[in-house]
Amino acid sequence: MIEFYKLLRWEFKRIFSNSVLCAIFFGAPVLYGFLFGYVYQQAKVVNLPIVIVDQDNSPLTDKVIDAFEDNEGLLVKDRRYNPGNILEEMPVEQYAAVVTLPSGFEADILQKRYPEVRVDLNMANILNANTASKNIQQVLMTLNAGIEIESLKKQGLPAAAAMTSYESFKINFNKLYNSTGNYLSFMLPGLLGAIMQQVIFLAMALVFSRDFEDGYFRQLVKKEKSSFYLIALKATPFILFLPVMWLFVGRLFVFFNVEAEIFNIPMLVLITLLSLASMGVGMLFSVAIPNQLKATEVLMVISTPAFVISGFTWPSLAIPGFINGIAQSIPVTHFLTAFRKVAYLGGDMSHVLPEIKMLLLIISITFIAMAMLLQVKINRARKRQAA
């Protein structure tokens, strides 16, 4: 143990002497955590620019435009009486939608000819298009109902009867779990989980590959011939650092007022298993590829698409089977699935057992493979030294 502590002190010195490793491990979660938090801090999309082409220019279309202006999700950027060169303006102005109120709109409504309101959506940004579509439908459907009810009242029906004549039944949507549709609450957990996995991957990619490059590995094998000993030596500093980094990540949820139950036992188990699984994958590639640059490049290739294929934003059921199979071998996939169950749906340990089992499987496979491969390299190095 005395020798282990000596080597451990030297390991800490090597870690802090590597500016790239320190920047990745300590700087990335802080920088990206605040960056993504502030990007999504508004929590929902508002003031999407739209153009209204008012070809009727009547008192009724004035009311329609007033209703659009009162909607917080939309911003009436321009009201015009003919389309003009909207297609040429679109690359510059980035309108989310163009709403065209046809000529004779008010007269057609009064005479029950059911005019058509045309809505052209800019689908270049699907999120903006869907948000604009939802808000435009909300405005137009509300106006449509109001106009119909007013028409029935003019025909002599009482207000209550006019309401029931227009609506045969009511619809009540009850939003559960993130009921406000807060985009920050939706995106931040997934992004931070993916960032922490990538940070651990890249940090662990350097622990053995650096030793192979600068010859320090030959000194280590003179002192100890067990692969488990060297794995413990390399992992211990990061096992001590990671709780501090996870605590900082947890405080980001508090700082940005994200409503999620993250300070509990199931979440502690999940972040522990994600950390160990990510360490196992990173250290395995560090042993297998004795070059710092190549090891980090390979792990970047693995970690870059991890968030996209994890099923966090795009449902796993819609992802092809072979890509889903790849995603199952990446720790963050199981972590994010379990995170949503615990943090938002109020699940306990029994609800996340499938994800826990998969993370334990990844940990077992990577650490066993790493120990076997490292032992082979230790034996070869000792044979060369003996020769």
For the chain, what are the domain ranges? Answer: 2-40+182-386, 48-166
Cross-strand partners of 120? 98
How much is the pLDDT for 4?
A: 75
Degrees (nearest 5) of the Cα angle 202, 203, 209?
85
Tens-place pLDDT, residues 223-253: 778 889 889 988 998 999 899 999 998 888 8
As a whole number, mean pLDDT of residues 367-374 equals 93
Please answer whether residues 102 and 56 qualify as being in contact, where contact means their C-beta atoms are separated by less than 8 angstroms.
Answer: yes
**Closest among 209, 201, 207 to 306, alpha carbons compared:** 201
Q: Is the pLDDT of residue 163 over 80?
A: no
Q: How many CA atoms lie within 13 A of 297 on its CB side?
A: 6
Least confident of 50-59, 181-190, 293-302: 181-190
Measured distance CA(205)–CA(209) in Å, rounded: 7
How much is the pLDDT for 188?
A: 83
How much is the pLDDT for 168?
A: 46
State what percent of residues in the chain have pLDDT above 90.
20
The strand order across the sheet containing 48-54 reads 74-80, 48-54, 97-101, 118-121
Cross-strand partners of 48? 74
Tens-place pLDDT, residues 126-135: 778 888 888 8
The residue with greater pLDDT, 378 or 162, is 378
The residue with greater pLDDT, 278 or 179, is 278
How much is the pLDDT for 91?
A: 73
pTM: 0.77
Q: What is the mean pLDDT of the chain?
A: 83
How much is the pLDDT for 43?
A: 61
Q: Is the pLDDT of residue 212 over 80?
A: yes
The residue with greater pLDDT, 26 or 166, is 26
State what percent of residues in the chain have pLDDT above 70.
90
Measured distance CA(42)–CA(184) in Å, rounded: 8
Tens-place pLDDT, residues 315-366: 777 778 888 888 889 999 999 999 988 988 888 899 999 999 999 999 999 9
Under the banding of pLDDT at 50, 70 and 90, the label for residue 125 is confident
How much is the pLDDT for 155?
A: 64
Supply φ then ψ for residue 53, to 5 degrees: -95, 105
2.40.50.140, 3.30.365.10, 3.40.1710.10, 3.40.91.10: CATH of 48-166: 3.40.1710.10
Q: How many CA atoms lie within 13 A of 386 on its CB side?
A: 7
How much is the pLDDT for 370?
A: 93
Q: What is residue 56's three-state secondary structure?
A: coil
E strands in the chain: 48-54, 74-80, 97-101, 118-121
Q: Residue 310 corresponds to which tokens in the numbers above?
A: 């994890």
The residue with greater pLDDT, 355 or 164, is 355
Under the banding of pLDDT at 50, 70 and 90, the label for residue 169 is very low
Q: Is the pLDDT of residue 69 over 80?
A: yes
